[in-house]
Structures are given as structure tokens and as C-alpha cells.
Amino acid sequence: MERQTQWLPPTPYTEPPAPEPEPEPPAKSQARRALGPLAVAGAIAIKFFAKIKALLLLAPKLKLLTTSGSMLLSVGAYTLLWGWRFAVGFVALLFVHEMGHYIQLRREGVTPSGMVFIPFLGAAVASRSLGGSAVAEARVGLAGPILGSLACALLLPLAAGHEFWRALVFTGFFINLINLVPVVPFDGGRAMAAMAPWMWFIGFALMVVAVIAFPNPILILFLLLGGMETWRRWKVRRSGEEGNEAYYRVTPRQRFVVGAVYVGLIVGLALGMDATFLDRSDRL
């Protein structure tokens, strides 16, 4: 009797299942979840800063980024948030602030290469030098808040009877005060070059606290920019190269004058903000 064999199809090959990953310790998992958003925000800020840096390098070659063109662009961007009237006033106050830097640079014998406005980041006057000494750098840095504060002070009579002007003047005082943070490249950091360069690290620590308390991409961008520039300036100052010993040579009288102007600006701007503050707690 013949034996009959039944044909069976070959069994398909399947890879063995991958071993399950070991669960992370609770502390490590919680730390990763907490740092995740900050890491993402930091990566976004770095990319954004790289684009802004490239934009600034191309600024002199792009007609859109001339002073008038970038001003119009900024007015359009701020109009989306605050309306065109406030946007025009705000950009005008920024222009006056930057003109303070521009005028002082010319007084120091430096020809600025241009002024550029960047929506939501402010404005900047580009130049190859800040005057050749730490005292000149401090004068250039403080000239912006000085002229900007005077412009806001001239608007105080209008602010006394109209909420629009009051809000605009308050914002102007606030912007000039923020620029006095003692870390480069802010105006306060320029003043510290002639007073006490070690204060750059105090200013950087204050920015770290601000980022932790109010995390947002703009603050993170300023933190990265301030950290890189502060570290670069400190290394150059400590290296003894490029004639920086003479650059940072400041007389006690010069240091006193810069310090008096710096502290006076902080006090005056704080008083201006207090005088124009709008209490809206009763409208909530």
C-alpha cells in the first residue's frame, strides 16, 4: 500500500520580537519631560538666531531692509498686535532711541553703516567700531536710552489726559529701561565696559532668571546672544591681545560719570513707568 504524504506550505520567517526597553527611573523620566520643552525652544531660538544673523549680514544689500523699508515692515508687524497708531508711535520711539546711538557714533568719529529695524526684536545701528575705548563705548551705549528717555518725557503732557499716549509713553520708558540690562550687547552692557566688566555675568544671570520665570523664544534668543557675546568679550579682555589693555583703561572720574548717568537713567525711567502705569485690575 502506497503511503500518501500531504504537502504543507513553508512557514514564513518572522523576526523574533525586539526586547522591551527597560523602564526609565522615575526621576530621569520626569527630568526629560521637564527639559523637553526647553530643549525644543532652545533649538528653535538657535535656528531663528542663525536666520536673523544672516539677515543682518545681507541687510546693506537688500533694499527692503533699508532704514525706511525696515521701519515700514516693523510698523506692519506691530499693527497686527496693537493697531496702526500705536505701531507708528512705538517704531518712532525706537527710531529716536537708535538715533541717540547714531549721533554719538558720529561724535566719536565713527561713520555708522546703517540702521535696521527687526519686528519684535527692536532695531540696531551697525558700525565697525564703538569709538576705540571702553569710555567711548559707554557713551555710545548710553546715548540711546538718554535720547529715548527725553522723547518719552516730552510726551508726558499728552499722557496726562489720554490713555493711548499714556500706554505708549509707558512702553517707551520700559523699552529704554530693558536696554540697560548690564550684559552685552545691550546698552547697559556697553556702560559696564567702562564701569565693571565683571557685571556682564551678573546681567547674564538676571537673564537666565527671566527666561526661567517667563520662558519664550525671544528671551531665549536674547539669552543665547548675550551669553555668546559676553563670553567672547571676556576672553578677549583677559587675553591681553588687540590692545585691549588700553581699551579698558578708565580713570576714576570717567567711571564715576558713567555710573552716575547709568543709575540716574534707571531711576528716571522707573519713575516714568510709575507715572504712566495704567491700572486695569478694575476692568477684569
pLDDT recorded at residue 243: 54
- d(C-alpha 175, C-alpha 169), whole Å: 10
209's grid cell = 532668571
Band (pLDDT 50/70/90 cuts) for residue 268 is very high
Least confident span in 54-63, 77-86, 99-108 = 54-63
**pLDDT in the model for residue 96:** 96
Rounded mean pLDDT, 106-121 = 89
Residue-range definition of the domain harbouring residue 266: 61-276
Residue-level pLDDT at 249: 85
pLDDT of 146-179, one tens digit each?
999 999 999 999 988 789 999 999 999 999 999 9
Q: Provide the domain count of the chain.
A: 1
| Arithmetic mean of pLDDT over the chain | 78
pLDDT value at residue 52:
46
Query: Residue 281 has what pLDDT?
Result: 62
Residues 6+ apart with CB under 8 A from 165: 155, 158, 159
pLDDT (tens digit per residue) in 180-214: 988 888 899 899 888 887 788 888 888 888 888 87
Residue 50 lies inside a defined structural domain of this protein: no
Closest CA relative to residue 223, chosen from 41, 89, 9, 18: 41
Residue 40, in any domain of the structure:
no
- Mean pLDDT, residues 228-242: 70
Q: Scan for cell 525706537, then name that residue.
A: 94
Cell digits of residue 223? 539669552
In a domain, 94, yes or no: yes
126: pLDDT confidence band, cut at 50, 70 and 90?
confident
Residue 226 lies inside a defined structural domain of this protein: yes
> Per the domain annotation, does 16 fall within a domain?
no
Answer whether residue 255 is part of any domain: yes
Can you tell me the distance from the alpha carbon of 125 to that of 102, in angstroms, rounded to the nearest whole number? 7
Q: Which residue has the higher pLDDT, 32 or 182?
A: 182
- pLDDT band per the 50, 70, 90 thresholds, residue 216: confident
Other residues' Cβ atoms within 10 Å of the Cβ of residue 35 = 11
What mean pLDDT is predicted for residues 118-143?
88
Mean pLDDT of the region 19-26: 55
Residues 181, 203: contact at Cβ < 8 Å? Answer: yes
Under the banding of pLDDT at 50, 70 and 90, the label for residue 18 is low
DSSP string, 66-86: SHHHHHHHHHHHHHHHH-HHH
- The pLDDT, as a whole number, for residue 159 is 87
Answer whether residue 23 is part of any domain: no
Catalogue the long-range contacts made by 229-233 (C-beta closer than 8 Å, 24 or more residues apart): 229/184, 229/185, 229/189, 230/183, 230/184, 230/189, 230/200, 230/201, 230/203, 230/204, 233/184, 233/193, 233/197, 233/200
Q: Does residue 4 lie within any of the structural domains?
A: no
